[in-house]
Structure 1
Amino acid sequence: MLRDLIDQLPEAAQTYLEGARLDEVECIIGDLAGVARGKAMPATKFAKQSHFYMPNSVFLQTITGDWTEIPGMAYTEPDMILTPDLSTATAAPWTADWTLQVIHDINDQQGNPVPTAPRNVLKRVVAMFEAEGLTPIVAPEMEFYLVAPNTDPAKEVEPPMGRSGRRAAARQAYSMSAVDEYGPVIDDIYDFAEAQGFEIDGIMQEGGAGQVELNMRHGDPVRLADEIFFFKRLIREAALRHNCHATFMAKPIQNEPGSAMHIHHSVVETASGRNIFTDAEGKDTEAFLHFIGGLQRYVPSIIALIAPYVNSYRRYVPDFAAPINLEWGRDNRTTGLRVPISRPEARRVENRLAGMDCNPYLAIAGSLACGWLGMQEKHPPAAPFEGDAYSSDAGIPRTFGEALPLFAQAHAVHEVLGEEFCKTYQAVKETEYNEFLQVISPWEREHLLLNV
């Protein structure tokens, strides 16, 4: 039976297990925060079972581990049915034994997709495109920091120690010598990615001290979100091997740039593969402009998805390499929505507003939902912005407290993402935000305790 299981695995997983005996399978899903939840079991047991159970309350848990109660919802914690999606099976090459990770599909006991599961939310949005004969394509960029070990929340985060014996330096974007300072971590990231069957387009030094950018290939939104979900764990494990930590926090170090998850979007005709953002003469189509118009109109409503924590808004600071506006422009990195240089058949728009602390399923779903609504409702975009858009304030919320009411009132977005999901997400995030408001910060104690 174990042999039958292995024969169903993706090629990379089969290659990883050549000459080895599969010991364990980690059965996982992503919660609202994108944290892996599930259980590990012996491979022989996994091969014999078709599914397992997990309570639906996993989607009511906050990032601090507290639980949210939704008015009118009975708190009985019914089981969900988790079925392995073997196409996601991939190695866990950092473990001591031979282990695979498998993402599971999540249905209720009647066989319906659980609407609060982030992966199901993204599948719902993709299905809307597919019903119109369209296929959305995304290409994510991941930014993250390698930092010195830090187990004290009161201590400021520091850059890691490099191979030269000095801490990583800031303001060294694209420097090969800077990224070589933590070359062993990068080498393990490449090795782990190869073992897991993931393709990396490139790795480079970003502008912050110890900040790295990893570019991924373009493709299916659900598959790419799965890979980001796996990559976060992969990168953390690679860092731990070399006495440092990897963090995907949006703004971990004061006075350094934040970490983004830029999302490139295009849409193709499913039957022909033609990019609908480009016409026969290689020019912009109305669909392309309406997609941008939808992003400009609706992104403020889904900022709570792409900037999901109070720290996320620390990124939105002028002159720190993060957009602070909803302008769009061609080859202009100061705009929140950028149209990169490309061949006409590869025309796309890049949403630069999402932070790397987001749940990849929800950020991609939210961004695609905005473009989808723009095409359906035929929203024209503003004129493309020329020059430095950092001088423009186009109305994105600057605090989580501002973002949550916008999400609550976004009825058109709720119809795309699903009412039950939106209600649950709103409740969880309000619980997190209310807990944060009870915390007294070091700044308050330093400047207010004896001075006011």
Structure 2
Amino acid sequence: MSWSDKIPQAARDYLDANRLDEVECMISDLPGIARGKAVPAAKWEKLTQFHLPESIFFQTLTGGWGEAAGDAGFTEPDMVLKPDYSTTTAAPWAADGTLQVIHDAFDTRGDPIQFSPRNVLKRVVDLYEKEGWTPVVAPEMEFFLVARNTDPTKPIEPMIGRSGRPAAARQAYSMTAVDDYGPVIDDIYEFAEIQGFEIDGITQEGGAGQLEINLNHGDPVELADQVFFFKRLLKEAALKHNCYATFMAKPIENEPGSAMHVHHSILDKDGNNIFTGPQGGETDAFLHFIGGMQEYLPSVIAVMAPYVNSYRRYVKDHAAPINLEWARDNRTTGLRVPLSSPEARRIENRLAGMDCNPYLCIAASLACGYLGMKNQIRPDKRYEGDAYEGDGELPQGLYAALDLFDANTEMHEVLGPDFARVYSIVKRAEYEEFLHVISPWEREHLLLNV
């Protein structure tokens, strides 16, 4: 078969309407940025793989480098990148016919590169499959539409909608607020339809210019691919209308932060939800999954909250959890069991920020539940009331979170020891870069007062 026989129907429909000019061969780095090559269509026809240096995974968000090359030294050997044709989708914002294809990374022996984020998630899914379990996830993506900000020294401000008043959108679940940003949302829907993505819904969140997109539940790798693609889609749709889509965990002072809530359920070999028993009740597996998240989530907060800004989101009474309590239908807890039928029983992890890498976040979240079920960890008593009145249990900054990550070698075995090594080195390098920056707060309060 030719490569065009292996791609999804939506991509074929796009090719029927557009002459293919270019194919973007891409892979996610640790922050979740698309890296790769743009290949002319004529060359793509003959291409079965291409190469990039493995050092793309040692690069910090700012373009610096972590000393993560290992004993061999910084020689920048090539990886072999092979296309996953099932991920092929259009780039509808491009002037000429363009497809995007996600690739998987291998070394020259054919082994998966451990520190490639998509491979990390595949590793965790494989562990589930060896137990006869099929994990199912559903991500929720929160983000802000903000005014163009070309000067980093100036605060970020919400986009001005058709009402002319940015504060008019600070109304959670308001349909009027969604309409205020209608032209951007129209393009989001159009791009998603062309790319073959199904949006479960778009709602206005609590912040000015803050929206949430829900995706239908499904395979973890496929859903992570969609979030990876969606981040680019949303940025392109916003730029068409002279604004930015930002996935910072806390872009604007005194506004809520943006999360990527992840819903989890597990199916057995017969397709039954193992969180639900024969009579519709909650099972030991359900409780052990929650227990695992309570036990192991602190050690992967550095993955779900990967930047110094991420920890500004964990603010009491500000629409983000501050602890690991669990409850039914309670949005103040870190772990929530939504209202559902017994067949759809699921557990929502509300800790991750939208600034996370979706592959790594979903992998880490599933890893916590996996260890909970394997080790049969019982959860704490279900929380009653407002969990903001409880004690904070989350690390208070990236450095503390990285210390917890480094200490949990059991988690490293699930995610991959080489990934854990590289991730810690790169994130600590980013933190060192941050320490070189003097903030406006320091200049305002320390310059003349100390």
TM-score relative to the length of structure 2: 0.98
Structure 1 CA distance for aligned equivalents of residues 394 and 24 of structure 2: 39
Q: Measured at CA, do residues 446 and 73 of structure 1 come closer, stay the same or move farther in structure 2, by a change above 3 Å?
A: farther
Partner SS for 1:48: coil
Tell whether 2:326 aligns with 1:325. Answer: no
Answer yes or no: is the 8 Å Cα contact 1:162–1:168 preserved in 2.
no
Which residue does the alignment assign to 2:25?
27
Which residue does the alignment assign to 1:183?
182
Instruction: Show structure 1 runs of 5+ residues with no match.
Output: none
Q: Measured at CA, do residues 170 and 163 of structure 1 come closer, stay the same or move farther in structure 2, by a change above 3 Å?
A: closer
Which residue does the alignment assign to 1:43?
41
Which residue does the alignment assign to 2:213?
214
Answer yes or no: is the 8 Å Cα contact 1:250–1:357 preserved in 2.
yes
Map of 1:199-278 to 2, 5 A cutoff? 199-269=198-268, 271-278=269-276
Answer yes or no: is the 8 Å Cα contact 1:22–1:98 preserved in 2.
yes
Answer yes or no: is the 8 Å Cα contact 1:327–1:394 preserved in 2.
no
Structure 2 CA distance for aligned equivalents of residues 427 and 402 of structure 1: 14
Query: What is the CA deviation profile of residues 79-134 of structure 1, one whole-angstrom value per residue up to 9, with x for unaligned ones?
Result: 00001100000000000000000000111000000001000000000000001111
- Once the two structures are overlaid, the 10-residue window that deviates more, 69-78 or 360-369, is 69-78
Query: What is the CA deviation profile of residues 212-253 of structure 1, one whole-angstrom value per residue up to 9, with x for unaligned ones?
Result: 000000000000000000000000000000010000000000
Structure 2 CA distance for aligned equivalents of residues 166 and 405 of structure 1: 44
Query: What is the CA deviation profile of residues 13-56 of structure 1, one whole-angstrom value per residue up to 9, with x for unaligned ones?
Result: 00111143211100000000000000001111011011000000
Answer yes or no: is the 8 Å Cα contact 1:160–1:168 preserved in 2.
no
Structure 2 CA distance for aligned equivalents of residues 350 and 127 of structure 1: 22
Tell whether 2:447 aligns with 1:449. Answer: yes
Which residue does the alignment assign to 2:100?
101
Structure 2 CA distance for aligned equivalents of residues 20 and 140 of structure 1: 31
Map of 1:287-366 to 2, 5 A cutoff? 287-366=285-364
Query: What is the CA deviation profile of residues 391-424 of structure 1, one whole-angstrom value per residue up to 9, with x for unaligned ones?
Result: 1125211211210100000111000001000000
Task: Report how far residue 73 of structure 1 moved.
Answer: 4.6
Answer yes or no: is the 8 Å Cα contact 2:140–2:213 preserved in 1.
yes
Task: Report how far residue 169 of structure 1 moved.
Answer: 2.9
Which residue does the alignment assign to 1:390?
388
Find 2:67's aligned residue among 66, 69, 88.
69
Instruction: Show structure 2 runs of 5+ residues with no match.
Output: none
AA paired with 1:290?
H
Task: Report how far residue 170 of structure 1 moved.
Answer: 5.0
Map of 1:120-131 to 2, 5 A cutoff? 120-131=119-130
Structure 1 CA distance for aligned equivalents of residues 44 and 31 of structure 2: 26
Task: Report how far residue 7 of structure 1 moved.
Answer: 2.6
Partner SS for 2:23: strand
Map of 1:414-429 to 2, 5 A cutoff? 414-429=412-427
Structure 2 CA distance for aligned equivalents of residues 396 and 9 of structure 1: 43
Answer yes or no: is the 8 Å Cα contact 1:62–1:431 preserved in 2.
yes
Which residue does the alignment assign to 2:374?
376
Which residue does the alignment assign to 1:14?
12
AA paired with 1:146?
L
Structure 1 CA distance for aligned equivalents of residues 393 and 332 of structure 2: 15
Task: Report how far residue 171 of structure 1 moved.
Answer: 3.2
TM-score relative to the length of structure 1: 0.98
Structure 2 CA distance for aligned equivalents of residues 437 and 264 of structure 1: 35
Answer yes or no: is the 8 Å Cα contact 2:169–2:180 preserved in 1.
no
Structure 1 CA distance for aligned equivalents of residues 235 and 18 of structure 2: 25
Answer yes or no: is the 8 Å Cα contact 1:168–1:178 preserved in 2.
no
Structure 2 CA distance for aligned equivalents of residues 393 and 62 of structure 1: 33
AA paired with 2:318?
F
Aligned CA RMSD, in angstroms, stands at 1.0
Which residue does the alignment assign to 1:198?
197
Which residue does the alignment assign to 2:277?
279
Partner SS for 2:422: helix
Answer yes or no: is the 8 Å Cα contact 2:170–2:209 preserved in 1.
no
Structure 1 CA distance for aligned equivalents of residues 36 and 407 of structure 2: 33
Answer yes or no: is the 8 Å Cα contact 1:201–1:216 preserved in 2.
yes
Structure 1 CA distance for aligned equivalents of residues 352 and 301 of structure 2: 8
Task: Report how far residue 8 of structure 1 moved.
Answer: 2.3
Answer yes or no: is the 8 Å Cα contact 2:146–2:209 preserved in 1.
yes
Tell whether 2:82 aligns with 1:83. Answer: yes
Answer yes or no: is the 8 Å Cα contact 2:198–2:216 preserved in 1.
yes
Task: Report how far residue 6 of structure 1 moved.
Answer: 2.2
- Once the two structures are overlaid, the 10-residue window that deviates more, 62-71 or 413-422, is 62-71
Q: Measured at CA, do residues 168 and 185 of structure 1 come closer, stay the same or move farther in structure 2, by a change above 3 Å?
A: farther
Aligned residues: 449
Tell whether 2:418 aligns with 1:410. Answer: no
Structure 2 CA distance for aligned equivalents of residues 15 and 168 of structure 1: 41
